[in-house]
Each structure stands twice: as structure tokens, then as C-alpha cells.
Chain A
């Protein structure tokens, strides 16, 4: 008999979390070694997008440069407040946790990173950073191409994960299905809350023997199968992990707590993506940027404490990027406008800490913007070759000088 009521009500509520150590389209596969670099099979890259255009000069502050204070009469961070690295350079005062990690040699600061002919559109410049293609339009991201290239186990549903609501361009791949998981709670099929609907879905979703021959049919069936198995299995696979740090109650804190959980559950995941922002500080920059940098630093501090407690801190490399830095001179609204080159961070126990690249030259500018001195693809090439253990040339469409930032 059919009931006309709501088919989902009266069913199981939520996803049942059951620790199941044997169920592993992740776990067993994680041990498969990557060709090439010894130990690379265990490594994870976490990419953090500081979205909106992070002001590099108030993040890594050139506090020894009088020009900085002249061009930033209200926004300049007082020398006494800066968390100094040396006489010229220091961190924003909100980044105490990151500074502490820097002092332990776990943070590489790469200065002046950008690309030729900088684009000042958030949209286009974000795309350039994500596709690593400043001169063409690519439908795949640089990490998506890495996933295509890396010969990762095809039956692992979690080779890459975006901890985001929407798939970022950087993880768009031709071959590998990358789930976007903003939170475990939201990652699942509503119909799975009903046992009968779930069972029927599984049967119907894998029905790929149909009275027509679409070139996409088998692929849709495969991805529907991923969707259901993945959303059902992930909570179980990570359920055994015990968080060993107190994360800030911010969106980034929650994302990094999940990132540590995934890393610690050894699902074979190689790349993770998280977004933090918005750093688009045209107006009243100080309040916004200080808050966001503080949240970033605190979340990173907790993340690495958690990773370290599980012995994972040298397995996870965190790399930040932002679509551009900001104009050197502040504007009339105590903010800054879209600029060009800016610093980025590589963080973790596998990093050779220190200051890299060239400090921004505030007198020789590109129409008021910091000129780039390190091509962003040099950073990507370094991460691909020395961290993930893959050749970078085809992924980046060129050969780029590598940096000595990996221990």
C-alpha cells in the first residue's frame, strides 16, 4: 500500500556514524606507494584560498621600510606591534600562533609571488591561480591535473576533497571525481535517511543497462554510485579519529578540524582545499583583515597541534594563496584597492622554514603595485615535485624554478 505522506519522515535520522575499521576503499589503499618519491604516498597537500585579495603588506609587514609608513598613514602597523622576524620584516600582530610555528622552523614565507601581466579582476585572477594558466582558459585546475596524472587508485573516492560547498576550479579534473564536503552533516543524500528509499536508489542509480546507448550513461551511473557510497562511507571512515586540539569556533576552525580528521584517518587523500575570507578590504581594512588573519593563525595553530598529537604534522603541507595583494598606498576609505604580488605561506613539519624570495620594493612599483619577483608556478612546481613527488612540467605547461622550501 502506498502512503501519500512525506517519504522521508519516520526514517532513520541523519547519517549513522559507525566506526568500521575494515571498510576501506580508503584505508587499505592509502598504503599503496606512489611511484617516485619515497614516502610521498603518505603526504597530503592542504591548499587554503585566502579569498578576496589578502593585503600582503599588512600580513607580512615591511616594518623596517619608512616608505611603508609614508604610504600607509592610517593603516601602517606600528613597528612595536609587529611580530618581528628580523629588522625589516614581521608578521601581523594577530598571527601569534603562526609566528610561534615560524620560530620552530615550520613556516616558509615566500615573498613577492605573482605572475606576468597581473589581472586585477577577482574572478579572472582567482581562475589564473587555480588553473595555473595566466594566458589561456583551462577547464581543469592544477591540482585536478595532478590528480589525473598521479595514477591514484581509481576505486578510492577520496583522492582529493574540497572542504567547501562548491567545487573549486583548482580541483576540476578530467578523470578523478572530487567531492566537495562542507561538513559531514551536509554531505549526504536526503533519501538515504529512509532505508527503503536508500536501497531502491542504490538499485536504480546503478542501472546502466538501458534501451539506449548514451556515451555518458555509464559515467553517470559510476558517479551516482560514488555519491552514495562516498556520502555513506566517509562518516564511518573518519569516525575513529579523536580530535586532540581546541579549534576556534570559526568556519575555518571547523574546516581544519575536519581536514585533520581526514588526514588522520588515512583515506589515501592527497589534496584538500579550504577557503577563508573575504579579504576584499576596500573600506576599513584593519578590522576585517586583522580578524581574518587572527582566525587563520589560530586555526592553523590548532590544526598542527592536532596533527602533531597524532604524529601527522610532517605529513601535511599547508599552502596558502590569494588572487592578488593590494595597492601599496592606502585609499581614502582606510582600505586598499586591488594590487598585484603578495607573500604566501607554506606550513608544516615538512617545511624548511624561513623567509624566501625578495622583500617587496616599495619604490620601484608597477603603477603603485608590488612587482612580482617569484612566479607562482615556481611554488606549484616545488610542491608537485618535492612534496607530491610528481613531474610538474606537463601539469604547469612549462618548467619553473623550484624553491628550497621543503625540508
Chain B
């Protein structure tokens, strides 16, 4: 849903020079990360906007982060047994916990946020179609390595990624029986969008991708010359004996590809349904930077439109953003064990998007059942052992009014009405508890918005 009001397209992407306080710093950390701890928000608020964005874009290299868990691959022989499938599902849950913890504690939040964005964009679902946990992890690492890299390079790398080749059937795409699934989704959902290519382009590019498969012995990419169609193809007005990388090259020469990515990034980072003029302007930035994400995002995250009132809390937090953000704001240093199950009830399972189009987001996160799941998740968290005495919420002032103010400032940067202060203070001054008040603040509508 597009926010109300008018866009000033001339100044939309110019550098923002307005107020820079906790409110703006928290906004930046919600969008370019998974929210900030109270300390992180204060630290970013003390920087300049450009300094804050620079520190997100130029993140530390290989950190001392805990390595991913060891996970299984597809059993070499025969059909997997029930036990093996169960083990694979357990591995996926372990990977979810590992990734959620990484989102929570990484010193490079934008890298993790972009990995998450790209996972929902270039979707692959685990276990379906032989995408076993080892391939899921390999794809996740590939996305992370390219999270602020070049979209053209990443698209080519994903076209050779075993998880992707299996999930979208290109592993079965051969000269005698072309399978168009990958070629179609590559254009429809990953790079161009419907209406920007023809059915004939799908057929021709599917031929170019024939033979790009997975070596079943090694589980790695293999371009099989015997099943590749090396004939002449015509694709988006270009002709030649193309293979998959030629197709990706041609796609990345299209203006529609620049606009497609512009729209996808604006939807994810600024607001939904961005104006066509804004899409054009940011597409120009992407084009100037030759599909390099770091400089393009640097412009976007420092822009007027990004800090405008129209963009402020204009997105619905996804369940993952919500759950990780709750941990950050409560000062929890480890993801609570029940989180993957709770995320399922909230409607988002990592490594298992609902379909190849990814999570639709926006209003689709808002059903009464999903909100009950969110609220009950916080209720269990604030009641649980995880919230130990070192959390700020366990050390609130005894005065109900002061405590209410601190809660609403820390969790919501005061995005609340006087009535909310009164209600919370009355709750605390009555038989309410500090943990209960923290829960109530997080159950407020404003808290669901990113």
C-alpha cells in the first residue's frame, strides 16, 4: 500500500539533511537491519546520516561469527528414508536458528538484511525437489557473499547454484526435452517482470539453459555439453548460439531490468507500491552503478525519500524482522528456542517461502491469527528465563509514569499518543508488572510497523 501524500521526485534521492535523532537512527536500523538494541540506536544517533549509512555498507570482513551447523546432503543411494527426511528437517531448523542468531548478533546488519531480502527474491524451498540442507546452506552463503555485490554477477551465480537448478527444474532441462521453468521464473520473478518478454523469449532462453545441471555424484554445477542445445537462438532481439550466461548478460542490458530491481528495492526498503517516477529515478542510480548494490543502496539509505514522513513506519514488519527485532530491543543475546515454531504460526518459515514468488508481505502479514501468534510469542518471551535481570526492562524505575515513558521511548521512539502513556502508566501503577508493560507496548499497532 502506497503512503498518502505527494512525492517530490526532484529531491527524492538527494541526500537527507533533516533532523537526526533516535527516531531516524532506529528507522535506519529497522530497514537496513533487524532493528537496533537501545545502545545501537544511541550509537547511530550520535553519528551523521552519511556516517551511519557508511558503517552499514562497509561492514567488517570475516568476523568471529559462529560457523553454521554441519548439515546433511541428499543420501547417495535410493529414496531417502523417513528417518533421513526427519533428520533433514531437523537440520533445516538448526539452520534457521543459526541464521536467526546471526541476524541478531552480526556486526554487519545490512549484509544479513540483504541476504534475507535476496532469499525472498531468488526463492528456493528446502527439501522439496532434492534441495537438501547442504545445498540450502550453500545457497544461503552465496547470497551472503553477494549481499552487497553485483546483481548481474549474483544472477549468473544463482543460475549455476545447485539448489536453484533443482528447485526450478533446470537440472532436468535438456536438448530433447526442454524444461522452461527456470528460464520463465528468471525473467518473470527475478529480473524483468511480466510483460517485459514474450513466450518465445521463454522458449529460446530455456534452450540456452539446456545442459546446466547438477552432477549427482559431487552435488555441484555441471554444464553438460551432450544435453546442451548449441543451436541458434533469438532472445530479446539478440541472436546467437547463446548459453545461460549470454541470456543473463542480455537481461542485464534491459532498461526493464533496472526498473524491476529499482521497484523491488524500493518496496523492500522505502515503501510499497512506489510511484513510477521514483522507480525511474532509482533505476537511473542502479544503472549508473552498473547493478552494484553497495553504491546504489548507499544513495537510497541517505535519501530524502527514505527519511520522509511518508516512508516512516510505512512497511509491515515481516515475522522474521519482528522476532529478531524483539530480541534486539529486549537486549536478548540469543534467539529463544521456540522461535522457528512461532515463526511458522506468524506465517514465515525461513528456507520455505510459500512459492517461487516469495513472501507477498504487506497486508498479507496481518491476519488476526498471525497477530495472536506475534503477541503470544512476546508474552512467552517476556515471561521466560531469557529476559534475565540484566535486561533494561528488568531495571525500570519504580515510578509508573517514568517507567511507562522509558518503555515507550526505548521500544517505539515515542511513536505513541498521550493516551498510550496514560494507559501504560495506569497499568503499571495498578497491579501490572514491568514485563507485562513491555509486552503491551510491543503489542501496540505501531510496533508491527517497520
Contacts and interface: CB of A to CB of B under 8 A. Distances in A.
Interface in A1-26: 1-8
Contacts of A1: 398, 429
A187 interface: yes
Nearest to B377: A190
Interface string A199-220: 0110111011111111111011
Contact of B313 (A5, A205, A217): A217
B400 A2 contact: yes
B362 A216 contact: yes
B314 A214 contact: yes
B40 interface: no
A220 B317 CA distance: 11
B364 interface: yes
A101 B377 CA distance: 44
Interface string B294-338: 000000000000000110111110000000000000000000000
Given A6-B383, A203-B419, A283-B82, A215 B368 contact: no
Nearest to A283: B82
A326 to B, nearest CB: 14
Nearest to B396: A2
Interface stretch (A41-49, A86-94, A162-170, A349-357): A162-170
Given A127-B354, A191-B375, A205-B443, A4 B345 contact: no
A157 interface: yes
Contacts of B312: 212, 214
Contact of B129 (A121, A216, A219): A121
B360 interface: yes
A282 B81 CA distance: 9
Interface in B357-399: 357, 360, 362-364, 366-372, 375-376, 379-380, 382-383, 394, 396, 398
B424 A215 contact: no
A222 to B, nearest CB: 9
B72 interface: no
B366 A216 contact: yes
B416 interface: yes
A3 B400 CA distance: 11
Interface string B30-56: 000000000000000000000000000
Contacts of B436: 7-8, 191, 194, 197
Contact of A196 (B355, B364, B430): B430
Nearest to A200: B427
B70 interface: no
B370 A200 contact: no
A154 interface: no
Interface stretch (B1-9, B140-148, B150-158): B1-9
A3 B125 contact: no
A215 B2 contact: yes
Contact of A189 (B79, B316, B375, B445): B375
B347 interface: yes
A215 B1 contact: yes
A224 interface: yes
Interface string A15-59: 000000000000000000000000000000000000000000000
A181 B272 CA distance: 30
Contacts of A165: 344-345
Interface in A118-167: 121-124, 127, 137, 139, 157, 162, 165-167
A189 B376 CA distance: 6
A322 interface: no
Interface string A264-296: 000000000000000000110000000000000
A65 interface: no
B435 interface: yes
B92 to A, nearest CB: 14
Interface string A218-243: 01110110110011000000000000
B434 A2 contact: yes
B345 A220 contact: no
B275 interface: no
B423 interface: yes
B139 interface: no
B439 interface: yes
Given A191-B375, A226-B368, 14 more contacts: A1-B429, A2-B428, A7-B433, A122-B128, A166-B345, A189-B376, A196-B427, A197-B432, A200-B427, A200-B432, A201-B440, A215-B3, A223-B366, A231-B368
15 contacts: A179-B367, A190-B380, A191-B439, A196-B427, A197-B440, A204-B443, A204-B444, A207-B444, A211-B417, A215-B271, A216-B448, A224-B368, A224-B445, A283-B82, A333-B79
The 4 closest A-B pairs by CB, nearest first: A7-B436, A7-B433, A227-B368, A190-B379
